[in-house]
Amino acid sequence: MGDAEKEVEESRKWEDIDILKVAHHGSNSSTTQEFLEDTKPEYSIISVGARNDYGHPDGDVLNRLRDINSVVYRTDLDGTVILITDGENYRFEFDKRSLDGNR
């Protein structure tokens, strides 16, 4: 979703998805309740820096994701999120080295 905000979410009809890359680092300017009711992501990934000045991810966004039972992975807590797929099946791995600043 990149930096898409709620206007983009409202601009089309969405289908169910398995995995959502949450827009704008979990800002409350997107990931609306209506969008989540349409997409119903099983997993959600939030790319966000630890202790960022913006307070991302927003608590309301996290609550909305939890309310729809989406499993949330966050780069500030889980490290680099790696999605591995063969086109049909997928799994997640995590590289915690990114949490201490090493790459």
pLDDT at 99 (0 to 100)? 81
Tokens of 88: 């049909």
Model pTM score: 0.90
Q: Which stretch of DSSP H or E encloses residue 8?
A: helix 6-10
- Cis status of the peptide bond prior to 57, with omega within 30 of 0: yes
Write out pLDDT tens, residues 10-55: 999 999 999 999 999 999 999 999 999 999 999 999 999 998 999 9
Sign of CA dihedral 2, 22, 96, 51: positive
The predicted pLDDT at position 101 comes to 60
The predicted pLDDT at position 9 comes to 93
**Cα separation, 26 vs 18, whole angstroms:** 18
